[in-house]
Amino acid sequence: MASVKFAVVDVNDFLSKKQASEPDIATAWANLEENYNKKLWHQLTLKLLELVNHANLQKGDNLIQLYNNFLVTFENKINPLSLIEIVAHIVKQYKDQKDAITFLEKMEAKVKINDEALALCKVLQGQIYLEHLNDLDATEKIIESLEGSLEDADGVTTVHGRFYKLASEYYRVRGPMGRYYRSALRYLGCSDLSSLPVQEKRGIALRLALAAVIAPDVYDLGELLAHPILESLEGTADAWAVELVRTAASGDVPGFEAVRTKANHPDLIRNERTITHKVALLCLMEMAFKRNSAQRKLSFAEIASEARISIDDVELLVMKALAEKLIKGHIDQVSSQVRVSWVRPRALGRDGAAALAARVAAWRAAVGAAADLLHRSAPDLLC
């Protein structure tokens, strides 16, 4: 079992042996030795960040030995975040994952003066708890301890992407699905899509599409529809997922049902009742959005027809929309109408944006006409 050593080590002896035993990267070891002897800590850090990725060091416990016999002697002299970036490679070589956790806990004390380094150290622990030890409770504690501080941080740091990836993977396993959806989108927002493997992009895209239509607290699907991650599904067997999100976002109940039936995905079958109710709510929102403020009187019969529900269920649907603050307004039971005064803002697609632009243009024209009429009829009022 590998463990961290704190005994005095002969750095030059270690580096000399490495140069002799690994001739293909002897130059790299020689550069490390030169920078170490000259105390060029920044240059040494950069060289180490390159070397830890080399194939020679991925074998056995070579990286652990690198730490024990070299890095430990000057770790307090280099940038704390860079130190943990190097440590992220080292912990992968621990066969006993509990030893890896112990190692990272010791590193916490060494980098606690740097918030980013400390956060990354905790994220690495969270990944081990989740992926190797299946300790969801320990993972949750780490996510909760970091969530607020990272969200309050100025700008996006190099740690954000890793944290949101950890959070999305945790919520995907334990739920709720709405948190998975938001964390996964944030992870993508911190990532370079071109650097992600094709299969990983497709997996994320499919899971996000399913979460978008299943999560009971996610009603703004426009952000996902505008994200290039969905392009990874084009031409694949899962291309239907893009159309599933598109029809749900537009409140197209018949179109959505056609896609869902054809897809026959187990998650859609398992959550059929929740999804049916959610798409009906999205349909109601879309109906209200498409009408201007003077025409937002929706009859029960219209809602039942568009949402494909029983007219007896319309009032319950509207009450749910009001409770979730998806719309504002009131129900007129006497005339069997719903008067909508507000619809929750959402990210709009091209069609929605075009419709909104046309509505704004019509409003400007109406205001201009009213001003002209006032100018002609009562010019004294405008003086």
179 is written with which tokens? 């948190």
Q: Which of 263, 223, 226 is nearest to 241 (CA)?
A: 263
What contacts 166, CB < 8 A, 6 or more positions away?
123, 126, 127, 130, 139, 142, 143
Q: Which of 113, 119, 54 is nearest to 104 (CA)?
A: 119
Q: What are the backbone dihedrals phi and psi of residue 332, each rounded to the nearest 5 degrees, phi first?
A: -100, 95
Q: What is the pLDDT of residues 67-108, one digit of tens each?
A: 999 999 999 999 999 999 999 999 999 999 999 999 999 999
Stated length of the chain: 383
Q: Helices in the chain by DSSP H: which ranges?
A: 11-21, 26-37, 41-51, 62-69, 80-90, 97-111, 115-131, 136-152, 158-174, 177-189, 198-214, 222-225, 240-249, 253-263, 266-270, 272-290, 300-307, 314-323, 350-377
Rounded CA-CA distance 360/342 in Å is: 16
Residue 63 exposed, middle or buried by CB count within 10 Å (0-12, 13-18, 19+): buried
Q: Is the CATH number of domain 289-382 1.10.10.10?
A: yes
Q: Which of 267, 332, 245, 317 is nearest to 287 (CA)?
A: 317
Rounded CA-CA distance 348/221 in Å is: 9
Query: Which of helix, strand or coil describes residue 337?
Result: strand
Q: Which of 214, 215, 209, 131 is nearest to 165 (CA)?
A: 131
The residues spanned by each domain of the chain are 289-382
101 is written with which tokens? 């956790």
The answer to whether 230 and 242 have CB atoms below 8 angstroms apart is yes
pTM: 0.85
One digit per residue, the tens of pLDDT, for the chain of length 383 reads 444 444 467 899 999 999 999 999 999 999 999 999 999 999 999 999 999 999 999 999 999 999 999 999 999 999 999 999 999 999 999 999 999 999 999 999 999 999 999 999 999 999 999 999 999 999 999 999 999 888 777 778 889 999 999 999 999 999 999 999 999 999 999 999 999 999 999 999 999 999 999 999 999 999 999 999 999 999 999 999 999 999 999 999 999 999 999 999 999 999 999 999 999 999 999 999 988 776 789 999 999 999 999 999 999 999 999 999 999 999 999 999 999 999 998 776 556 555 556 666 665 766 777 777 767 776 665 55
Q: What are the backbone dihedrals phi and psi of residue 280, each rounded to the nearest 5 degrees, phi first?
A: -65, -40
